[in-house]
């Protein structure tokens, strides 16, 4: 009996080894045994999304990344290889803590930078800099204050990058609208930095519609928070970033242009 059990055990091991050989499913790329086309994805997601834009293997093993459209918004979602589960939400890569879902969402929703007027923007950096990054900021936003310090460091370390700062006062900061109008009227970086430092800013001394135009523009572009950066290729990056993070991202873009 023992001999029979041993033979059965080694037979199972051999079968398992064969399944992992070059001829077995799972030995090569996942796409060798699993596939999902847009037509099938549309059927699976019928009634959940309005359209399926693209399907490809996800960075996460055992899933497809599916680019969808819902209520005129482009979103990344995930379908597992069994095609029984839809995953919607952030996936974080643990090796570097990168939010890969947010990154994909940004790539899918780039904005046309030509729609953003810069004649009213405050310039941080050299006007001769070749790489121009747009920053939407709120003069009473604590994360905008932190980012402003990092932007100065970026400019110090890389003079060929310049930031064009647009005032986007949030409704949650009731004084930000009036402060923004004052800064615009005086085209004053000093006033913006005074506000970041908690010092009073004199009231507006001109009749300008720039702030209202910016509020309408960000709504149309889908920008909802501050700080938000828009890179030269239209990629939208919301939230605080360190100088190192910015230099890595913007630097890689500059290298591609050379």
Rounded to whole angstroms, the Cα distance separating 56 from 172 reads 40
Q: CA of 21: how far to CAs of 8, 16, 25, 89, 115, in Å?
A: 20, 9, 8, 35, 55
Model confidence at 158: pLDDT above 60: yes
Average pLDDT, integer, range 139-147? 97
Architecture of domain 30-108: Roll (3.10)
Note the Cα 209 to chain centre separation in Å.
Answer: 29
Asked whether the CA dihedral 171, 175, 181, 184 is positive or negative, the reply is negative
Count of Cβ atoms closer than 10 Å to residue 143 Cβ: 16
Please tell me if the domain spanning 30-108 has the same topology as the one spanning 113-257.
Answer: no
Bridge partners for 163 per DSSP: 124, 133
Rounded to whole angstroms, the Cα distance separating 25 from 28 reads 7
Does the domain spanning 113-257 belong to CATH 3.40.30.10?
yes
CB 167 within 8 A of CB 134: no
Model confidence at 26: pLDDT above 60: no
pTM of the full predicted structure? Answer: 0.74
Average pLDDT, integer, range 14-34? 51
pLDDT in tens, 161-215: 999 999 999 999 999 999 999 999 999 999 999 999 999 999 988 889 999 999 9
Q: How far apart are the first and last CA of the chain?
A: 73
Give the residue extent of every domain in the chain. Answer: 30-108, 113-257
């Amino acid at each position: 009996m023992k001999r029979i059990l041993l033979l059965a055990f080694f037979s199972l091991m051999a079968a398992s080894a064969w399944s992992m050989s070059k001829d077995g499913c799972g030995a090569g790329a996942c796409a060798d045994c699993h596939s999902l086309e847009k037509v099938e994805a549309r059927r699976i997601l019928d009634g959940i999304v309005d359209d399926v834009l693209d399907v490809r293997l996800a960075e996460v093993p055992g899933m497809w990344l599916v680019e969808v459209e819902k209520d005129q918004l482009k979103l990344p979602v995930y379908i597992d290889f069994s095609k029984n589960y839809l995953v919607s939400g952030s996936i974080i890569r643990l090796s570097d803590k990168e939010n890969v879902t947010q990154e994909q969402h940004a790539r899918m929703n780039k904005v046309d930078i030509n729609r953003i007027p810069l004649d009213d923007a405050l310039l941080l950096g050299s006007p001769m800099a070749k790489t121009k990054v747009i920053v939407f900021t709120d003069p009473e936003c604590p994360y905008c204050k932190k980012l402003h310090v990092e932007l100065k460091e970026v400019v110090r370390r890389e003079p060929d990058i310049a930031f064009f700062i647009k005032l986007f006062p949030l409704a949650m900061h009731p004084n930000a609208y009036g402060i923004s109008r004052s800064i615009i009227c005086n085209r004053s970086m000093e006033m913006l930095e005074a506000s970041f430092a908690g010092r009073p800013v004199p009231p507006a001394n001109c009749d300008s519609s720039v702030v209202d135009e910016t509020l309408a523009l960000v709504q149309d572009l889908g920008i909802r928070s501050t700080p938000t950066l828009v890179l030269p290729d239209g990629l939208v990056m919301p939230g605080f970033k360190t100088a190192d993070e910015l230099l890595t991202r913007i630097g890689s873009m500059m290298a591609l242009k050379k």
